[in-house]
Structure formats: C-alpha cells, structure tokens
C-alpha cells in the first residue's frame, strides 16, 4: 500500500482495510520500513477506531531514511527506539506481534530476542517473531523466548522453506507466515513484466527480467488454465496451494484494491485434490526457468547461519 509496488493510493487502501474487516480478515502485517513509516501511519487510521478487532503485526530492523533495504540494525538499543516509533505511528499502546525483520549478522540473535522479550514483559508487545531466519537462528532464539511466528517467502515458485523451516515450525509450534504467496503478482496471470515501471521493487529482481519472461508467461498461463478447471482464479489457486501445506500457515497476500482483496479471500473456499496438486507439479517441471527470487543485494539480508 505504501511501498515497493507502484504509486500509493491512500484512499483505495483505506477502503481496502475497512473491507478487510467486513470480510473477517483481521491479521494485518506491516513494517516500519514500508514507506519509511507511512504505512504504519496509514493503517492507524483504521486500526485505532477498531483496535479490538485487529491483530496487528509490524517489524523493525531495516534502518529508516531512504526507503530502501540498505542497512539493518538488530541491536537492543535500536530496537527500543524503533518500537516506540512504531507504537506512536500506529496510535496504539501495544503491538500484537513484533518481528525482527531480518537477523543481524553482527548481533547475536540471543541479544536481539532478549531485548524483544523485555518488550513483552513491559507490555508493549504481546508476541515476538522472526523473518527470513535460518533453522539455527530460530532454535537459538527459541531458547531465549518462544517465537510465535516466522515470516519467510513461500509460494509455488519459492519453496526453500520446505526442507527444514516448515518441519521446524511444526516442531516448535510456530505459526508460519508466508509473504509473496502470489509471487509478487507473477502467478496471477495478470502481470506483464515488460511493463514494470521504475521505482517498482520487482524491476531489479531476477525473476522479472526479460530472460525469464517467456518461461514465466507460459507458466502463469498454464497455471491459470488449471485454476479455471478447478473453478477459481489463478490468485485463489496460488493462495489455496500455500494454505494446503499446513494448518499452522497464514499467508499474507498484499493488495491496495478491494477487488483483489475480495478475490484473495475466496481462496479459503478452494479445495485441492491429489490430481490438482500433481498437475501443478508437472507444470512447474515443464517451465523450470523461473529466475531467482532476490538479487545479490537482497540476498545478503537473508540469514543463512
């Protein structure tokens, strides 16, 4: 709504937030870096008068200022300043779920999570989470304080978490929160990568470059055909597939438009059978040249320790 994807439209975004409440969608995800704080301020307009109806999650760590993911600070000192700023922008006394947006390689995860645990004791945060953390970091963090949620990218085209992360989340009773379940719009069969404009986050990501355009066009068209056969849209099928992977999974597709919100909400009614799942796997094998999800600059913030 405020960051990375085209021009913000606050009026449309507010309408979408209000419609989300009507639909019973009350788990909202933001971060202080989104629009350099502007997204938290935007959400506060609907959050404050409906505080008891919304479970709000936000994140800290990326250094504010240039609205780019250029530096990360997971220190306790930075955390204390960041949480106060987020509370103020959100116009709330408590954040339901507070994530470390990444794992700081220069700060022991125990220190970061220990400081986050202090926020729980102080009543400023109810639950704490991690984002894009490795299995080792998750286990180390969990020894300091229970981790309620782990957020990482997960979709039909991004499945790194399946080997270790998903089983670990089930083992430790951690809710898994997949971001970009729609592959940043690629799998909806509506995205023309050649028309992505400057300033759009996807412009510099490998998956959306010309060398992968034909493969991904064929893939998304085939995916849409499978969805049509099931009786749903491509977006609904993509989210339904993610939901199908476990009962501890809450995907967070992003949109600023009511029509896409309503479409996404319909994914919970899509039932997938063995034949559907096999057809999807065959399609993915047919068009494997999808491209990497991140470029080198983005990958350096993904915890691999």
Cβ atoms 139, 110 nearer than 8 A = no
Crossing angle for the helix pair 258-265 and 10-23, to the nearest 10 degrees: 30
Instruction: Measure the CA–CA gap between 126 and 94, rounded to whole angstroms.
Output: 7
H or E element at residue 263: helix 258-265
Burial class (CB in 10 A: 0-12, 13-18, 19+), 94: middle
Assess whether 34 carries a catalytic annotation: yes
Opening angle at CA 60, ends 101 and 235, nearest 5: 50
Out of 5, 34, 127, 260, which one is annotated catalytic?
A: 34
Cβ atoms 113, 82 nearer than 8 A = no
Question: Could you give the residue numbers annotated as active site?
Answer: 34
């Amino acid at each position: 709504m405020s960051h990375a994807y085209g021009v913000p439209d606050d009026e449309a975004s507010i309408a979408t937030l209000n419609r989300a409440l009507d639909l019973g969608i009350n788990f909202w995800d933001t971060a202080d870096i989104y629009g350099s704080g502007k997204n938290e301020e935007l959400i506060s307009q609907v959050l404050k008068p409906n505080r008891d109806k919304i479970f709000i999650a936000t994140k800290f760590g990326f250094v504010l200022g240039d609205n780019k993911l250029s530096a990360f600070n997971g220190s306790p000192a930075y955390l204390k300043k960041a949480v106060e700023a987020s509370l103020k922008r959100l116009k709330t006394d408590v954040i339901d779920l507070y994530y470390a947006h990444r794992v700081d390689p220069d700060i022991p995860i125990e220190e970061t999570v220990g400081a986050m645990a202090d926020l729980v004791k102080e009543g400023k945060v109810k639950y704490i989470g991690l984002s894009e953390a490795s299995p080792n970091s998750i286990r180390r963090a969990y020894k300091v304080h229970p981790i309620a949620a782990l957020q990482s990218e997960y979709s039909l085209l991004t499945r790194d978490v399946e080997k270790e992360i998903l089983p670990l989340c089930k083992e430790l009773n951690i809710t898994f929160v997949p971001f970009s379940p729609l592959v940043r719009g690629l799998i909806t069969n509506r995205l023309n990568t050649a028309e992505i404009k400057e300033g759009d986050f996807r412009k510099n990501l490998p998956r959306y470059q010309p060398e992968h355009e034909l493969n991904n066009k064929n893939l998304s068209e085939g995916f849409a055909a499978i969805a049509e056969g099931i009786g749903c849209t491509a977006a609904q099928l993509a989210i339904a597939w993610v939901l199908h992977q476990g009962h501890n999974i809450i995907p967070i597709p992003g949109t600023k438009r009511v029509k896409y919100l309503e479409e996404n909400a319909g994914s919970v009614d899509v039932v997938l059978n063995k034949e559907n799942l096999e057809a999807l796997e065959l399609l993915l094998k047919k068009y494997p040249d999808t491209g990497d999800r991140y470029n080198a600059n983005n990958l350096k913030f993904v915890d691999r320790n």
